[in-house]
Amino acid sequence: MHSVHALLALLMASPAMAANYATCILDKAPAAQNDVAAHAIMQSCLAEHPGGIEAIPQGSGRGVLGFKSGAECTAKKAVDTRSNQAATLVAIACRRLYDFPFDPTGARPVD
């Protein structure tokens, strides 16, 4: 039982790792105060997740607890972001995670 408490304390003390490039951007970019910082955040997230945005399946963030759309995510996450580059990175990450995949037939999946 004592080791369970130690493990929980260790997990709570360690910094959280983002699950993928998009979540890394959403965790870090909204706080960027300038474009130089935004670029450094992008480089850091790419170093942690070398596949970048292309490695993330379109719409993979959708679910009960996620945003309903990329626009909703962007509006929430980028509202106070001072850097235009960071806001753009946030919008790209939000669209990748929360927008439906493109369907050339025009059919849209049911929520």
For the stretch 62-98, pLDDT in tens is 988 889 999 999 999 999 999 999 999 999 999 999 9
Q: What is the pLDDT of residues 3-48, one digit of tens each?
A: 444 433 333 333 445 699 999 999 999 999 999 999 999 999 999 9
Question: Which whole-number Å values give the CA distances from 49 to 46, 84, 93, 99, in the listed order?
Answer: 5, 23, 13, 21
- Close Cβ partners of 29 (under 8 Å, ≥ 6 residues apart): 38, 41, 42, 81, 83, 86, 87, 89, 90, 93
Distances, alpha carbon 55 to alpha carbons 2, 11, 16, 107, in Å: 40, 27, 20, 24
